[in-house]
Structure 1
Amino acid sequence: GIGGYTFEVIVKDDEYVATKTIEAWSEFFQSTKPLVGHTLGSPNTFSVQPEFNAQCVPQVMVATGHQAWGDPVNHPWTTGYQLSYASEALLWGAWIEANTEPGVVVAGLVMDNDFGLAYEQAFKDFADNSDHIASFEIVRHDPASATLTNEVTTLAATNPDVFISMTAGNPCVLAIQEAGRSGIIENAQAVFTPSVCKSIAAYMDPAGEDADGWYIVGGGIKDTTDAGYADDLWISYANQKLDEYGGDSSISLQGEGFANRGIVWEQVLRIAADLEGGINRTNIMLAQRGLLNFTHPALLDGIKMNLNGNEDAYFVEGSDISQYDLANRTWVQQGGTIDLSGLSPNCAWVPGEGC
């Protein structure tokens, strides 16, 4: 193994419930003395971030794009990974200004937690300073809601020119389907699904015919189940290895872990192994925060990946803007990629208020 070590991976399902995240990590901290930890979801990551930092345990490359993970001064042991929700919201706004007539009405379906607030705050700031956007109408939804009919129907009544789904998980599928039933897809100039719901197998396939034509700020990452990348050397290799190792290459979230995050984690471990003291918690953080201009085969051309100490706290700050082609089961990139590497400000997050 790397540095002469073998690594044991322990996985627990918190069901996207923050109290269960706390319970699981309380047990981990007491019984396993973990080298590192990883969490999925903004509320879940927030719930244990103080303990990770108090115990000096790396909370690495968390599976959430909240801008709060870009806070190396106050939370040095936590790192994000994907495009931040704040950057994504700015790119929504820039696209709207470039592709619609002035006076546009934007409707946002917002998950009612700090994850949704990250999107809402960033886009509201943009809209408030835009002469192009006439109004930004929002309806929040319970993260555990089994239906979004009432929420989307309320937004449809505002006759939006642009509809943005600011949610995650199964609500992404529900939002697409309800936008179809309510007439939003038919009447709006554009509909956006969030970057966290780019997976074709997990979100677009289950949404059915209503998935056609949706836009996405895709985070610059190739989906391993996207037919458009079937001949991509890295994607085809990663899918082959997934199946060889007993995984399932038809599940895009497995591809995300292996082909996207896994290769970066391997590189971090190799760098840490070469530092004085070898693989330990401190060297893992040094390796992450000094990972400059890493060439990542799962990123689109033109998208950079790096961290730089306290100066640049976000791995990925670029994206494609793509539109879903249902017939060919692929995201079709619209124009070139946009990269803002090193330009995102750090974020000292205040719960309920924002950066």
Structure 2
Amino acid sequence: MIVVRFQVAVLFAAFALCTAASNPVQAQKSYDSGASDTEIKIGNIMPYSGPASAYAVIGKTEEAYFSKVNAEGGINGRKIKFISYDDAYSPPKTVEQARKLVESDNVLLIFGSLGTSTNSAIRKYMNEKKVPQLFVASGASKWNDPKQYPWTMGWQPSYAGEAKIYAKYIMKEKPDAKIGVLYQNDDFGKDYLNGLKEGLGAKGSMIVLEEPYDTSEPAVDEHVVRLKTAGADALVSITTPKFAAQAIKKAAEINWHPIHIISNVSASVGGVIEPAGFEISQGILSATYIKDGSDPQWNADDGMKKFYNFLAAYDPKANKLDAGIVFGYAAAQTMVKVLQMCGDNLTRDNVMTQAASLKDFAPDTLLPGIKINTAPDDFAPIKQLRMMRFKGKAWELFGEVISSELGH
């Protein structure tokens, strides 16, 4: 009898081992700092104050989306603790906040921090610490460098790729154009400018004046006047929201009506066009990869229905005209997708592995036909855009979905 019981016990033990071996994710949980059976700590740095504070809505939307996820049970049973700090769009402050998040708050990763110069200031630190700097809210080309910086990944289309699309548009529509460029005098502005020049190629002489401005300046009015005086009849405005709105207003004030292209980061109806004035913004051009929350054409769209329901429940005071809200929602959905893919292996290394394994992921607020794809040697999740023209009180899409990487 004792022998029989012993044999049964051995059989049960063997069965348990086989079950564990066949389901390793279930059998063993792996955690780094910031993750546990009950919680995932995510860090974030945003310009809640300072010259780029118009983007603060992105962080607020992401916080609201994570609240929604938590209310629905979290990610594989774990609640997200979202810790977001203000850096006032100042790189030294960004460094200070990143250190606080990594060394004091012990976050698993830093997600969606905004700005090119600000994220540049912490990239080396994040990679030395081997902490994911995921889905950077900046379109700088430098975030797609997995060999040198394997812990840093962008999210949106690259600025250089977007600028190549604008170069092609101008050469096609106005081959004799005299281009004036208003650009922010930092990594963000220079990345766009380089992409524009690359797109123009042998026709680089079409640029008659490059006019830089600093974010410490109260206004860009004098720069706009100089561009008009230089004889430019096409204006490429590589600006953040505050300065984009100023440039639109000043051009109207001095009765200057060039082909006016604004960068995608300043294409927000609520954040730029509405403050500048609908009437003087007619015909302005840009490119996008996300749906316009103010456009009724999306009212019957399943993804946007989910977005509107989210706003009603978790951020009812949000201005749906603001493109930053649509952006923040899609970025947060992408972060949640990656964490879901991690299962119970919530190590920093596995977070990066899953982030580099996204296949045809389509957040609710991306334009139809635009999907997120990554690979171990491809850290550029979104590579497509569509041109658009401002008409009435909304952007009107035209043309086909085009690759921002190739500029064609």
- TM-score bin, normalised by smaller chain: 0.7 to 0.9
Shift of 1:337: 1.6
Distance 2:206 2:311 in 1: 48
Matched, 1:169 2:169: no
Residue in structure 2 matched with residue 335 of structure 1 by the alignment: 399
Matched, 1:245 2:314: yes
Shift of 1:161: 2.2
Q: 2:284 is matched by which residue type in structure 1? A: W
CA deviation string 1:243-274 (max 9, x = no partner) = 2124534253233212x11221111111111x
Shift of 1:11: 1.1
Contact 2:290 2:326 in 1 (8 A): no
Residue in structure 2 matched with residue 76 of structure 1 by the alignment: 150
Matched, 1:21 2:91: no
Residue in structure 1 matched with residue 390 of structure 2 by the alignment: 324
Contact 1:200 1:226 in 2 (8 A): no
Change (3 A) 1:261 1:247: farther
Q: 1:205 is matched by which residue type in structure 2? A: E
Contact 1:66 1:85 in 2 (8 A): yes
Distance 2:397 2:224 in 1: 27
Residue in structure 2 matched with residue 351 of structure 1 by the alignment: none
Matched, 1:215 2:285: yes
Residue in structure 2 matched with residue 159 of structure 1 by the alignment: 231
Shift of 1:298: 1.9
Residue in structure 1 matched with residue 209 of structure 2 by the alignment: 137
- SS of the residue 2:345 aligns to: coil
Change (3 A) 1:94 1:145: same
Aligned positions of 1:79-228 closer than 5 A: 79-100=153-174, 102-130=175-203, 134-185=206-257, 188=258, 190-208=259-277, 209-218=279-288, 220-228=289-297
Which of 276, 286, 301 lines up with 1:232 in the alignment? 301
Distance 2:346 2:301 in 1: 33
- SS of the residue 2:180 aligns to: strand
Change (3 A) 1:256 1:295: closer
Shift of 1:322: 0.3
* Greater strand fraction, Structure 1 or Structure 2: 2
Q: 1:336 is matched by which residue type in structure 2? A: E
Shift of 1:136: 4.1
Distance 1:230 1:51 in 2: 44
Matched, 1:12 2:85: yes
- SS of the residue 2:207 aligns to: strand
Residue in structure 2 matched with residue 303 of structure 1 by the alignment: 370
CA deviation string 1:260-317 (max 9, x = no partner) = 11221111111111xxx5122111111111112223332222323211111x221111
Shift of 1:233: 2.2
CA deviation string 1:156-195 (max 9, x = no partner) = 112212111011131111111112223332xx2x110110
Residue segments in structure 2 that go unaligned for 5+ positions in a row = 1-73
Contact 2:362 2:370 in 1 (8 A): no
Distance 2:92 2:280 in 1: 35
- SS of the residue 1:8 aligns to: strand
Matched, 1:272 2:342: yes
Matched, 1:290 2:354: no
Change (3 A) 1:225 1:19: farther
Residue in structure 1 matched with residue 332 of structure 2 by the alignment: 262
Distance 2:297 2:390 in 1: 11
Residue in structure 1 matched with residue 8 of structure 2 by the alignment: none
Shift of 1:29: 2.0
Distance 1:340 1:55 in 2: 32
TM-score, with length taken from structure 1: 0.88
Percent of aligned pairs sharing the same letter = 25
Change (3 A) 1:30 1:240: same
Q: 1:254 is matched by which residue type in structure 2? A: I
Q: How many residues align?
A: 330
Distance 2:254 2:192 in 1: 23
Distance 1:126 1:108 in 2: 14
Distance 1:248 1:60 in 2: 28
Distance 1:53 1:285 in 2: 12
Contact 2:165 2:199 in 1 (8 A): no
Distance 1:227 1:45 in 2: 35
Contact 1:323 1:334 in 2 (8 A): yes
Residue segments in structure 1 that go unaligned for 5+ positions in a row = 345-355
Distance 2:304 2:230 in 1: 42
TM-score, with length taken from structure 2: 0.77
Q: 1:64 is matched by which residue type in structure 2? A: S
Distance 2:380 2:388 in 1: 22
Contact 1:242 1:255 in 2 (8 A): no
